[in-house]
Amino acid sequence: MPVETRYFRSDQHTVNGLTAYKLETANSTVLSQVAASDQPYWGIRVWKRSANGTETEITAGSPVAVVYGMEGLNTASWNCPGASLNPTDSIVVRIYSSARATGPWTLRRTWTTGQLNAQSLDASSWTVYYYFHVEEALVDYLAVVYYFQHGDAAHPSRIEGFAYTPYAPPVIAKIAYTDGLVCIA
């Protein structure tokens, strides 16, 4: 059972029909950020996505690992319950922000793994690392802007504890008969 760190990268790819930022085991090198005014609460939701684009949510319909975005590094945990997977499934993580810890929530950005070639996403404790820059801005009023930052070595926003069981193809046995024929079962 691999237990990995998955980085919120700043580059994109298309997996199972979804174009999103990469959620990979190595970080990218370019800083990216997404901003929200007066929405200090941030959290993630998680889905599995099949090859035909069907998504099944693993979280319970609202963000988990919620943080109040303070300047610098913020962390929160979530107990992933696990899910059965097909080998071509990917895992999709979306980040949301809100003015209140209870919502309503606004989608800010989407990441996806590649096809995992796994039979299950395993139950494990995820620790989510969020990097924020916070500043005041004058729009029509004085607002506090929260920038979720990811994608480079100085802002390695990530998930630790991402665990899954690789797909094991069926074992093919060769049986040799005394007459020289071989049967594959």
- The reported pTM is 0.90
With 60 as the cut, is the pLDDT of residue 113 above it? yes
State the chain's mean pLDDT as an integer. 93
**Burial classification of residue 18, based on how many CB atoms lie within 10 Å of its CB (0-12 exposed, 13-18 middle, 19 or more buried):** middle
Instruction: Give all strands (DSSP E) within the chain, no chain letters.
Output: 3-15, 18-24, 32-37, 41-49, 55-57, 64-68, 72-80, 83-84, 90-98, 106-112, 118-121, 124-138, 142-150, 158-166, 174-176, 182-184
Region 106-132: what's the mean pLDDT?
98
